[in-house]
Each structure stands twice: as structure tokens, then as C-alpha cells.
Amino acid sequence: MSFPECSPTRKGKPLPLPQEVVKMNLHNPQSMDPVCLTKLDAATASHQLTYRNITYHFCSAHCQERFSEAPVFFGAPRRFEEPHPIPKHHRLRVASVTQAIREMAGIRLCEVRGVNSVLIGDGYADIDYDLRLVSLNQVEAAMKDAGLPLKGWLHGLRRSLWSFVEHNELENLASQPSPCCSRAPIRVR
């Protein structure tokens, strides 16, 4: 069963455009969620986290959890003008369940911020998502909450490897290249 209505929007609202993004200022009451780049009022933000002596404000518990999984990526100085998505696709092996459970799980997975498309068949679930907004661990937790159990230890080992690779990818994206790397290599004659 396919759920094409999944989109990278936040509850029907499109993600903020680059020119609308305001950098976080600790002296300004207006702040920005570092995960989904939503503008927030720092005084009324219900979710916050301190990382390296900087307090970050979040629009939801989902964004706060996403930040705590990869604080190096979201806390790093980076350009907010180019919030490119990081597309991921995985086929997860699931136990056989009834059609009604598959439909309900597909609807619940589409509600997760960052999930772009879901295709659930008998024994598998194809998930497309934006790594910047949601991690594989959060997708797995949403699947379990929806009553869609994942398969055993061998596939669990594969999912652990995928999560490890995703975490390393975010840390690599967070690191700034050194100035010497932008120069052409020296030719030796």
C-alpha cells in the first residue's frame, strides 16, 4: 500500500524558505529551531536543550530528540541559506500483519516529520525520508508505536549499521573543510 500524500512539510505548512531564516541570537527573544528551521519565540518555547553552553529552543519534542541524536550536526556553525535535504531510502523487513494494521501504520508514518513516502507490503516497508529531519531510529520507533513489528536479529544488525552510517554522515557534514582543501594540488615536475 502506497501513501503518496507524505510530504516534507510540517503539518501542511511548507518548510521555511532560505530568505525567511533568521540566525539564532541569544539576546533576541526570537529564536529558531535548529532542526526544522522554524521561527520561535524563545520565551514561550516549551522545548529547550543546552549544548556547549548554548540554549537551543525547539518547536516540538520530535525536533528536540532529533537534535540530541546528532548535536554535532545541528549545533555546528553552518550556512542556513542552503538547508538541503539529505534523502534516504530503506527497505525495512517487518513481520506479517493484517491489511488494517499496515494501513494504520502507513498513515502514522506519514505523520512523522521528515518522512516523504511510505510503501508497506507483506513483509516489508519502503521508507523515503529526509535525514536532516528524522533518523532511522525515530522511524523505527514510529513503526513500533503503530503496531508494525520489525524482523529479527540479522535485520536488526543491518539497521544498526545503517544508523551508524547515518550518524557518521551527519558528523562529516558538520565538519568544516579546511582552507587548504580548496586550493588545487601542487604539481611536482
Segment-wise mean pLDDT, segments of 10 residues, the chain, 189 residues: 52 46 47 82 82 85 87 73 82 92 92 92 92 91 91 90 92 70 63
Check residue 2 and give its pLDDT.
56
pTM over 0.95: no
- Fold for the domain defined by 2-7+85-168: Alpha-Beta Plaits (3.30.70)
Check residue 42 and give its pLDDT.
78
Check residue 137 and give its pLDDT.
92
Inter-CA distances, 157 with 93, 143, 148, 174, Å: 12, 17, 18, 26
Check residue 5 and give its pLDDT.
53
The three cell numbers of residue 125 are: 516497508
**Helix 61-69 with 136-145: angle, nearest 10 deg:** 140
Check residue 59 and give its pLDDT.
86
Check residue 88 and give its pLDDT.
94
Check residue 85 and give its pLDDT.
87
Check residue 21 and give its pLDDT.
39
Beta bridge partners, 129, equal: 88, 115
Each domain of the chain, given as residue ranges in start order, spans 2-7+85-168, 18-75
Between CA 55 and CA 109 the distance in angstroms is 30
